Homo-oligomer: A and B are copies of this chain.
Amino acid sequence: MCEANVYIDRNGQEKLFMEQANIIIFHKDGTLFIENIFGERKTIAARVKEMKLVEHKIILEESW
């Protein structure tokens, strides 16, 4: 399947935030709604830095 793991980049350290994310909705208020294939849902105030889909990897940077 083609979902991706979502990581948060904190000072160069990538911490896993959600596994196997499928849906990401980018709200105009700067928050991201993320849902994975197991139905887990999270919202986070962060921006996407980079996506490497073939590597199943999405890297976020938190916004304060």
| Chain A contact residues, CB within 8 Å of chain B | 1-4, 21-26, 37, 47-54, 56
Contacts and interface: CB of A to CB of B under 8 A. Distances in A.
Contact of A24 (B1, B3, B47, B50): B50
* Main SS at interface, chain A: strand
Top 3 nearest A-B pairs (CB, nearest first) are: A2-B2, A24-B51, A22-B54
Pick from A2, A25, A37, A53 the residue with the most CB of B within 10 Å. Answer: A53
B22 A49 contact: no
A47 to B, nearest CB: 6
A23 B52 CA distance: 5
26 contacts: A1-B54, A2-B2, A2-B4, A2-B53, A2-B54, A2-B56, A3-B53, A3-B54, A21-B53, A22-B52, A22-B53, A22-B54, A23-B50, A23-B51, A23-B52, A23-B53, A24-B48, A24-B51, A24-B53, A25-B49, A25-B50, A26-B48, A26-B49, A26-B50, A37-B54, A53-B53
